[in-house]
Structure 1
Amino acid sequence: MCAIGNRARTRSAPRSRRALALQYMSSERQEGKSTRKTNELILSADKRTFANRQHTMTEHLDLLEIVRRPLSPDARLEVQVSWEEYGRVQAILENDESKYPRLWYDGTRNVAIVAAPPSALHANMAGGLMASIIREVLTQQGLSSEVSRGFTLSTETGNTRGRTTRGRDGAMLYREGNRTTLMIAVEVGVSQSYESLRAAISWCVCALHCHLGIAMCIREQGPGEVPDRPQYPSIQDENAAVDEAEEDFRRQLTERPYGPLVRHGVTWFGRVQRVVLETYRAPDESITERTILDPSRSFTIVEDGEFVGGDVPPNLQEVVLGDCIPDHILDGDAIVARPVNFFRRDWFEALFQDGMVRTAGKRMRPRHQ
């Protein structure tokens, strides 16, 4: 389900361990029409579609077998297993020294989360958000070079609290001597359910205590199953065919900036139905790591294949310098509250469209890559 709005709620219930329930977090539900008012987005859900997107693994199939299966980019699977079984499989993956799939654990529900590699679109937007924020901060007047040297960016890192281990798409940290403070965390969901995306960014704020969480939810219209991938006589033929297709896709973007991208009658990337950018903050000290937050701001950037974010404030009405640098390092309240105007249409569209093209090109390659 994707249900974006300031008062959305999410509930999860663990299933029997022996059932090894496998929930495709990359699934979407049928969405109803929406009216854009005060930059809020409310989507309806079709429960029957949601039910049809769930699959139950047979009892003989264990977590290791699941992580060994090929996964489509951006896919996220949830498997109910014990902490001990998660630990055994995690140790095997670490010994293999393979970057993907990533394996995390939700100790509140006793669920392992299997995360496939991000698509080019996912990676572009996570990196683009962080790069734009840091670029804007470094151009602020009044910051010394010593202050600027304290910034650290990280991506795809893992964090553990008790029996919960999660990753994040990007983070801005500030280092003072041997102390590092998590300032901003970024999460991007392309095929990920909105509930899962909101839970991930809420955990960064509530459990890791970052000052600000930023989440981007991207919905591709009716992607369905990836078409049968072409077979190529050689890797040289494959590269040439994909390069030619990507050039064709870039030409198509001049008429359809947000898709679909079609080659010889086959849709390799569907039209972008919606992109929403949200911010998250801890409301008070009473929160726990299990708290699921409502967004403090929610802005629609793309809707029905059209850019509609022209009136979105460049700092989303709240991102300030004090979110990027600890207050005690900054000189005065005025500087702490100075807006960080990081959101710009030019970089957003350039990175988004490049990500669409490269994601479509990847879908044309055989599964072995």
Structure 2
Amino acid sequence: MSSERKEGKIKRNANALIFPADKRTLANQQRTMMEHSDLLEIVRRPLSPDVEVEVQASREEYERVEAILENEESKYPRLWYDGTRNVAIVAAPPSRLHSNMVGGLLASIIREVSRNQGISSEVGDGLTLSTESGNTRGRTTRGWDGVIEYQEPNRSSLMIAVEVGVSQSYESLRAAISWSVCALHCRLGIVICIREQGRRQTPHPLQYSSIQVENAAVDEAEQDFRRQLMERPYGPLVRDGVTWFGRIKRVVLETYRIPDEDVLPETLLQPSRSFTIVEEGEFVGGDVPPNLQEVVLGDCIPDHILSGEAIVATPVNFFRRAWFEAQFKEGMVSTAGNRMRPRPE
């Protein structure tokens, strides 16, 4: 279990020990904050998947709202804090497309590392995945979409961090991955930036007479969406004249590295490599190097675990069109299907 998960478990157990008087205090605090807290108002507002909202707030206000969410044991929205700008970041749940690309990319990297002839099964067993964890440095608390860690008996090393943005601002993606690389000292950062177009806003979800009727209707629509992808591999996905997923305008894959050991935690990095995978609804990534011209075993496993510079520099050829398109298309279908379901209040 990672240190972040242990910490979360400890917090949940501590919440379970709150006495009635303490709960009344939290309830009174929440009522007081509701009268004047823009941050709590945003947290209570229903948010579409993948949305991130930035709210100007003090660190103290962030901590009070975070305490309310922890007491309610709410997994979403996630709440982070940028101490350099005094901004709270409210993150909605990820869409299936978002989750598919995070999990697919991390799994592809680990699978390729495990297949390498120079890596023993014992060494390969040290690779682990972690998703949606938070870390604090100074006054800033941020999370990642996913990370590859290397577990040793007495320590854990962060190796590769991943951020995926579905119609998220490029600036916020760069800020998120820069934090993982510069503040948390991940060896490498990888970003997938996805731009959907042709759907001005999420259509109003349909209403169904029962959950059985809802599931049957969504299942039928998803089968139709898969047929549409045979003609239009990157959308749009349309049902009864309504666009439930727009055409993919662009997908860009980027890598980020720390420029030097003295870099400040709040540094905003420029990508070291940038490759366009999809452009105007067409796959154009056929010439993208399978290791993006730089991903090597030394990015996944600490150098002292590997034997020799040649092994450290062995390319990790994780990028394959087959897994990319399979994960991406199924993510589009599932995201479109979920948009057809009634939203929770």
TM-score for the superposition, normalised by structure 2: 0.89
How much identity, in percent, do the aligned residues show?
Answer: 78
Q: Distance in 1 between matches of 2:125 and 2:281?
A: 40
Q: Give the aligned partner of residue 263 of structure 1.
A: 239
Helix, strand or coil at the partner of 2:230: coil
Within 5 Å, which residues of 2 pair with 1:152-301? 152-301=128-277
Q: 320, 341, 349: which is aligned to 2:296?
A: 320
CA deviation string 1:35-89 (max 9, x = no partner): xxxxxxxxxxxxxxxxxxxxxxx99453222101100000000000110110001
CA deviation string 1:103-130 (max 9, x = no partner): 0000000100000000000000000110
Q: Which has the higher helix share?
A: 2
Answer yes or no: is 1:68 the counterpart of 2:36.
Answer: no
Q: CA RMSD in A?
A: 1.2
Letter in 1 for 2:84: T
Q: 324, 342, 350: which is aligned to 2:326?
A: 350
Q: Distance in 2 between matches of 1:211 and 1:132?
A: 18
Q: Distance in 1 between matches of 2:178 and 2:234?
A: 29
Q: 98, 109, 116: which is aligned to 2:85?
A: 109
Q: Distance in 1 between matches of 2:154 and 2:79?
A: 29
Q: Which segments of 5 or more consecutive residues in structure 2 lack a partner in the other structure?
A: 1-33
Q: Distance in 2 between matches of 1:180 and 1:239?
A: 42
Within 5 Å, which residues of 2 pair with 1:40-189? 60-189=36-165
User: How far off is 1:328 after superposition?
Assistant: 1.2
Q: Distance in 1 between matches of 2:46 and 2:187?
A: 37
Helix, strand or coil at the partner of 1:253: helix
Q: Distance in 1 between matches of 2:52 and 2:276?
A: 24
User: How far off is 1:145 after superposition?
Assistant: 2.1
Check the 8 A contact 2:104/2:324 in 1, yes or no.
yes
Helix, strand or coil at the partner of 1:254: helix
Q: Give the aligned partner of residue 28 of structure 1.
A: none
Q: Which segments of 5 or more consecutive residues in structure 1 lack a partner in the other structure?
A: 1-57
Matched pairs, number: 312
Q: Distance in 1 between matches of 2:164 and 2:344?
A: 26
Check the 8 A contact 2:114/2:121 in 1, yes or no.
no
Q: Distance in 1 between matches of 2:64 and 2:82?
A: 16
Q: Distance in 2 between matches of 1:194 and 1:327?
A: 32
CA deviation string 1:328-368 (max 9, x = no partner): 11111111000000000000000000000000001101112
Q: Distance in 2 between matches of 1:77 and 1:222?
A: 22
Q: Give the aligned partner of residue 52 of structure 1.
A: none
- Segment drifting more, 279-288 vs 239-248: 279-288
- Segment drifting more, 263-272 vs 221-230: 221-230
TM-score for the superposition, normalised by structure 1: 0.83
Q: Distance in 2 between matches of 1:143 and 1:60?
A: 57
Q: Give the aligned partner of residue 25 of structure 2.
A: none
Letter in 1 for 2:336: A
Answer yes or no: is 1:302 the counterpart of 2:278.
Answer: yes
User: How far off is 1:222 after superposition?
Assistant: 3.4
CA deviation string 1:181-226 (max 9, x = no partner): 1010000000210000001001100000010000000000132211
Q: Give the aligned partner of residue 336 of structure 1.
A: 312
User: How far off is 1:136 after superposition?
Assistant: 0.1
CA deviation string 1:248-281 (max 9, x = no partner): 0000000000000000111000000000000000
Q: Distance in 1 between matches of 2:152 and 2:37?
A: 47
Helix, strand or coil at the partner of 1:299: strand
Q: Distance in 1 between matches of 2:305 and 2:285?
A: 33
Helix, strand or coil at the partner of 1:223: coil
Check the 8 A contact 2:198/2:236 in 1, yes or no.
no
Q: Distance in 2 between matches of 1:80 and 1:256?
A: 41
| 4+ runs deviating over 6 angstroms | none
